Structure 1
């Protein structure tokens, strides 16, 4: 049994077959179709495997995302498809592979790593913590009976130019940098439904909503965009195609949309963005201080001193010793004043920066 390593291009088919057997045994498509960017021949090197007799027995994939935010670009290591063959479990192989992924992510100067799991205790041993914000809004079935505006044309079809979707996607203030080719590939994922709203007079795309992603996110709208005035009617149109309520996944900063949907009967649930492990706190602190200066606050302090992370404003400084606590303070949901005592002015200033407005759209999950 060897140490974790990247597969060679020639091993790509063996890796995909292993993942299909372990993670997608009861579907008619391959995991390579479900994650078209991650498991392409030129990206398979981003996977890590352990082999026995030349066959994969453990695997994890790490995809580097560049995410734009109001604070600037974040380099993020998204980790997923973590699995070990049943015959080789409880031997620490997944932990070995994950440590290798984290080492490479750190070497590549990723700001943090993120993954999605329900094995919270296992990943906390690797300094991951539940953090960030994800709002889920369950759409009432009654929405399907509401009349639709006559000035819009609605479609249920994936035959839409990727460049048109990209134009609206790029209006989001937070999200992974993408190309039209990326979106073309995403639209080919099995079990994907695309709903769109168009202006009848100009034939301009006004809003889009994506439901489903292979074996995941069934009945969830995980990719979407457009003005609220067109998007909410589009949700009504989408809901009319389902017997069960759809759920919209939204970032915390989509305040207007969340407010209007809640006002119209959508059931709101607050959750976490994922499990996050900070890799380069100083890089994140630099972005925070630069953003604070842009807002006119030159005395915001974010730094590492010995074994503590120091945050504060002017002379009101506090030390955080736990990396996992820092993760929840920077990304939410933990507020700094809930963890330590700070002055009202410090609270007021830091609330303009924290929690960091971070978001990962559904197509980017691994």
Structure 2
């Protein structure tokens, strides 16, 4: 059979999701399908951004793309995240994933996308295809002393779907460079969390929020953004009921600085991001300053 690289067809989507779930979710002891975790990616409306390599009726390799808008100051850029890069174990070493990535780059250039981004522990593989490493992300970890944590005043647990506009107001006020989100983007559920809660704090004319994922007794703070006077209350609430808390952040953010000063958190650099400039508007120097939040990634 001849190898064919093309967009996923509607009748192939369920079969592909089953393969990807086994590779990235259930095979790693996790729960909840990629369809539920990334509903705007693994859906019929995004089939043109799900590229597969077939050999006859067999799906030998695949990847998914999520296009998004990125704002820095007054400029808007078109970005594309690439994730779920998969090759069937029996077909690895044949260069299928490389061919998919090359096809994805061609498609994105034709669609006037400014840059691509992905996260990997195998940078040398992607570097051969023109991707460059640049990552200002950090991962924090702490085991809270829950014995002294009492419910804080002024923190509300809100439904994300109906509160997205409030979060966007805070994000655009406090951050210079951000992914521009829509309400449906808040339906994402990054692994291994089994739910994501929105914590919002208001003190007089000050406001801040935290996006908190939970997997049993482990918590994941994806964002802590807003007025720093609200951070103590949000932090106490995020730590309640969790024996261990991880924080996804960037090295120089207001939240990283506050947590370093006021908690016993330990940080480690996460050099996983790789970028592909696709237009003349983006260069390596610019990419080195950018940070895509973990919550937005695929």
Tell me, yes or no, if structure 1 residue 165 matches structure 2 residue 167.
yes
In angstroms, what is the RMSD of aligned CA positions?
3.0
Does the 8 A contact of 2:212 with 2:219 survive in 1? no
The number of residue pairs the alignment matches comes to 290
Give, in angstroms, the shift of residue 157 of structure 1: 7.0
Match of 1:362 among 276, 286, 294: 294
How many angstroms apart in 2 are the aligned matches of 1:12 and 1:121? 30
Alignment of 1:323-362 (within 5 A): 327=284, 329-332=285-288, 356=289, 358-362=290-294
Higher mean displacement: 16-25 or 106-115: 16-25
- Residue from 27, 33, 36 that aligns with 1:33: 36
- Aligned residue in 2 for 1:270: 269
Distance 1:362 1:178, change over 3 A: same
Q: Which residue of 2 aligns with 1:311?
A: none
1:18 aligns with 2:16: no
Change in 2 beyond 3 A, CA 1:138/1:232: farther
The answer to whether residue 95 in structure 2 is matched with residue 92 in structure 1 is yes
Going from structure 1 to structure 2, the CA distance change for 1:81 and 1:35 (only over 3 Å counts) comes to same
Deviation of 1:76 after TM superposition, in Å, equals 1.3
Aligned partners of 2:251, 2:114: CA distance in 1, in Å?
21
Q: Deviations over 1:318-342 (max 9, x none)?
A: xxxxxxxxx3x4433xxxxxxxxxx
Of 76, 79, 82, 1:76 maps to 79
The match for 1:175 is: 178
**Partner Cα separation in structure 1 for residue 247 and residue 146 of structure 2:** 13
User: 1:78 Cα shift?
Assistant: 0.7
SS in 2 for 1:61: strand
Aligned pair in 2 of structure 1 residues 47, 161: CA closer, same or farther (>3 Å)?
same
Q: TM-score, normalised by structure 1?
A: 0.70
Report the Cα distance in structure 2 between the residues aligned to 1:270 and 1:43, rounded to whole angstroms. Answer: 32
Structure with higher RCO (Cα < 8 A, 6+ apart): 2
Match of 1:289 in 2: none
| Structure that is richer in strand per residue | 2
State which structure, 1 or 2, has the greater radius of gyration over its C-alpha atoms: 1
Q: Which runs of 5+ in 2 are unaligned?
A: none
Query: C-alpha separation between the residues in 2 aligned to 1:138 and 1:360?
Result: 19
Q: CA deviation at 1:97?
A: 0.6
2:51–2:100 CA contact under 8 A, matched in 1:
yes
- How has the CA–CA distance of structure 1 residues 12 and 58 changed in structure 2, closer, same or farther, with 3 Å as cutoff? same
Equivalent position of 1:101 in the other structure = 104
CA distance in 2, matches of 1:83, 1:188: 18
1:182 and 1:257, CA in 2 relative to 1: closer, same or farther beyond 3 A?
Answer: closer
In structure 2, the partner of 1:308 is none
- 1:240 counterpart = 2:258: no
Secondary structure at 1:182's aligned position in 2? Answer: helix
Distance in structure 2 (CA, Å) of the matches to 1:208 and 1:76? 25
Contact 1:20 1:31 in 2 (8 A): yes
Map 1:247-262 to 2 at 5 A: 247-254=246-253, 256-262=254-260
Matched-pair contact (CA < 8 Å) for 2:165–2:183: yes
What is the SS of the residue equivalent to 2:281?
A: helix
8 A contact 2:149–2:240 mirrored in 1: no
Contact kept? 1:194, 1:211, Cα under 8 Å: yes
Contact kept in structure 2, 1:156 and 1:193, CA below 8 Å? no
**Whole-angstrom distance in 2 between the partners of 1:278 and 1:107:** 13
2:278 paired residue number:
279
Q: CA deviation at 1:72?
A: 1.3
1:271-310 map, 5 Å: 271-272=270-271, 274-280=273-279, 282-284=280-282
Equivalent in the alignment of 2:9: 8
Please list the CA deviations of residues 218-239 of structure 1 after superposition, one character each: whole Å capped at 9, or x if unmatched.
6431234332211232122211
